[in-house]
């Protein structure tokens, strides 16, 4: 061994180990876990603690992804390694904003990252629906509201029963501990408002047989609620034209595998004069679905051998829900330069029109913003950051949250390099939690 090597080894043995950063992440969904992953790679000796109000981790992956999309849910195995390989600690059953405050976390940790997402269903905001006004939330871009803006205050008339948000339903289907099927009645005629991937998830799940649902781990009480109708007809409604609908063409292709369903649409709603070439895939895949599932001359009418129907409606805006106690009619108006109207007979209405930050959420991002905040990079203040849907609004899938988490992790690392904060806070030990608290 060369002398220089001995000297270096001796010095290393006698020098104190450099202090490591302590990092608290609030929320164990994809954004929170990905931030932990990237900071773990950057600072292998850092103490990283992920807090969640639920007893099990992974948030959206566990409770928001359709149970038959096992490939998407498999990302949880990657997150498992965060905890199995050490260095990242999960503290479940601890709600920040209720059991602990953000200020307490900031006193104990060098860095705090808020990754709680947005889980409240955006209401329809029309007479007969919930009618609860939605607060405006400024996003990182300033152009995409994190929630809906329902103009005006409370809506007249009482909210009708039989209206369910997609967030509640996906949590229910995935066994979320806060949800149960008591009082959930779908009936035989269901309208789904929204034409994004979440709406198509709901459509697909409603068309599954009870055995298929149970095979994907759906609880009996939920299966029974779906089968009780039974669901015979589904209208799926959106204000956009077909080419601008939000669904992924692959989601429509999956529908073609479901037996005994007639897929219908009006010819006049299937062709857009201003469709962009990149949007034609949506039109083409839907036309193939209609052609495959129907066998009559115009290819948009019924297959006599089928016993369930799904009708797509493009370019329609929900205007009013009607009924006596529970919804029985969904009234629509044409969305673009049209005075057309349409009434759909329904037993229930499922909304899949996005999410927002509930006014009563224990941890609200706005409460931690200041003139020093820069939402474009996820910075709320010195050592305090936000990521994922809480930062940029309810847009993007799990891969988009990975990209977002990488960006925010890089911003945190750059701030540390610039001396904005230093290691030295006590971390989890500084919270003085009793064993029963975590």
The CATH number covering residue 336 comes to 3.50.50.60
What mean pLDDT comes out for the span 199-228? 95
Tell me, yes or no, whether 114 lies in a domain: yes
Find, among 113, 96, 48, the residue nearest to 362 by Cα.
96
Query: For all residues of the chain together, what is the average pLDDT?
Result: 85
At 42, give phi and psi (nearest 5°): -75, -45
What is the chain's length?
A: 438
Together in a domain, 45 and 66:
yes
Beta strand 348-351 pairing with 163-165: parallel
Label residue 177 exposed, middle or buried (CB < 10 Å: 0-12, 13-18, 19+). Answer: exposed
For residue 47, the domain's CATH number is: 3.40.50.720
Together in a domain, 106 and 48:
yes
Tell me, yes or no, whether 269 lies in a domain: yes
- Convert 297-330 to b/e letters by CB count within 10 Å (16 or more is b): eeebeebeebebbbbbbbbbbbbbbebeeebbbb
Together in a domain, 343 and 381:
no
Together in a domain, 259 and 391:
no
Tell me, yes or no, whether 38 lies in a domain: yes
Summarize pLDDT for 250-296 with one digit per residue, the tens: 999 999 889 889 999 998 888 776 667 767 788 888 989 998 765 44
9 pLDDT higher than 60:
no
Q: Which pLDDT does position 3 carry in this prediction?
A: 37
What mean pLDDT comes out for the span 102-126? 94
Question: How far is it, in rounded angstroms, from Cα 165 to Cα 192?
Answer: 10
8 Å CB contact between 218 and 208: no
Residue 17 vs residue 397, higher pLDDT: 397
Together in a domain, 58 and 172:
no
Residue-number span of the structural domain to which 366 is assigned: 22-118+357-430
Together in a domain, 90 and 61:
yes
Question: How far is it, in rounded angstroms, from Cα 324 to Cα 337?
Answer: 32
Q: Where is the domain boundary, 356, 372, 397?
A: 356
Least confident of 10-24, 65-79, 248-262, 419-433: 10-24
> What total number of domains does the chain contain?
2
What mean pLDDT comes out for the span 159-187? 94
Summarize pLDDT for 345-399 with one digit per residue, the tens: 999 999 999 998 887 888 889 889 999 999 999 999 999 999 999 999 888 889 9
Together in a domain, 325 and 364:
no
What mean pLDDT comes out for the span 2-22? 53
Together in a domain, 352 and 394:
no
Tell me, yes or no, whether 205 lies in a domain: yes
Together in a domain, 338 and 388:
no
At 237, give phi and psi (nearest 5°): -120, 135
Summarize pLDDT for 126-169 with one digit per residue, the tens: 999 864 444 444 444 443 333 333 333 334 457 899 999 999 99
Tell me, yes or no, whether 14 lies in a domain: no
Residue 206 vs residue 358, higher pLDDT: 206
Question: How far is it, in rounded angstroms, from Cα 245 to Cα 196?
Answer: 7
Q: Where is the domain boundary, 356, 371, 386?
A: 356
Together in a domain, 169 and 55:
no
Tell me, yes or no, whether 348 lies in a domain: yes
Q: Which pLDDT does position 154 carry in this prediction?
A: 37
Tell me, yes or no, whether 144 lies in a domain: no
Q: Which pLDDT does position 342 carry in this prediction?
A: 95
Q: At what angle do helices 30-42 and 75-84 cross, to 10 degrees?
A: 50
Question: How far is it, in rounded angstroms, from Cα 293 to Cα 407?
Answer: 44
Tell me, yes or no, whether 299 lies in a domain: no
Together in a domain, 183 and 90:
no
Together in a domain, 343 and 416:
no
Q: Which pLDDT does position 196 carry in this prediction?
A: 93
Contacts of residue 293, defined as CB under 8 A and 6 or more positions apart, other chains included, come to: 256, 261, 262, 263, 303, 306
């Amino acid at each position: 061994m060369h002398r220089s090597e001995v000297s270096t080894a001796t010095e290393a043995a006698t020098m104190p180990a450099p202090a490591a950063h302590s990092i608290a992440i609030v929320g164990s969904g994809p954004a929170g876990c990905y931030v932990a992953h990237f900071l773990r790679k950057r600072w292998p000796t850092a103490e990283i603690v992920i807090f969640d109000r639920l007893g099990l981790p992974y948030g959206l992956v566990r409770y928001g992804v359709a149970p038959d999309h096992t490939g998407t849910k498999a990302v949880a195995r990657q997150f498992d390694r965060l905890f199995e390989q050490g260095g990242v600690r999960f503290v479940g059953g601890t709600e920040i904003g209720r059991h602990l405050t953000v200020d307490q976390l900031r006193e104990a940790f060098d860095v705090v990252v808020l990754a709680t997402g947005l889980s409240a269903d955006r209401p329809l905001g029309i007479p007969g629906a919930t009618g609860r006004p939605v607060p405006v939330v400024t996003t990182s871009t300033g152009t995409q509201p994190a929630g809906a803006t329902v103009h005006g205050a409370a809506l007249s008339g009482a909210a009708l029963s039989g209206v369910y948000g997609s967030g509640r339903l996906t949590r229910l289907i995935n066994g979320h501990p806060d949800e149960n099927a008591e009082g959930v009645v779908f009936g035989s005629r269901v309208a789904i408002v929204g034409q994004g991937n979440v709406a198509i998830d709901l459509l697909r799940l409603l068309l599954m047989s009870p055995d298929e649902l149970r095979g994907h781990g759906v609880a009996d009480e939920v299966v029974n609620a779906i089968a009780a109708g039974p669901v015979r007809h589904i209208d799926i409604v959106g204000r956009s034209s077909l080419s601008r609908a939000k669904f992924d063409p692959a989601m429509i292709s999956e529908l073609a595998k479901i037996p005994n369903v007639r897929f219908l649409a009006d010819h006049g709603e299937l062709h857009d004069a201003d469709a962009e070439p990149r949007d034609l895939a949506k039109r083409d895949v839907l036309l193939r679905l209609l052609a495959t599932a129907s066998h009559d001359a115009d290819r948009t009418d019924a297959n006599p051998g089928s016993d369930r129907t799904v009708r797509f409606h493009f370019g329609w805006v929900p205007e009013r829900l009607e009924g006596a106690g529970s919804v029985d009619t969904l009234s629509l108006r044409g969305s673009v330069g049209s005075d057309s109207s349409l009434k759909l007979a329904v037993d229930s209405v499922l909304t899949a029109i996005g999410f927002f930050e509930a006014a009563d959420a224990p941890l609200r991002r706005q409460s931690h913003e200041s003139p020093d905040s820069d939402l474009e990079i996820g910075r709320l203040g010195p050592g305090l950051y936000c990521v994922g849907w809480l930062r940029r609004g309810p847009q993007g899938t799990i891969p988009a949250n990975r990209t977002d988490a990488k960006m925010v992790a890089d911003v945190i690392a750059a701030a540390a390099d610039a001396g904005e904060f230093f290691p030295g806070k006590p971390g989890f030990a500084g919270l003085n939690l009793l064993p029963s608290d975590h």
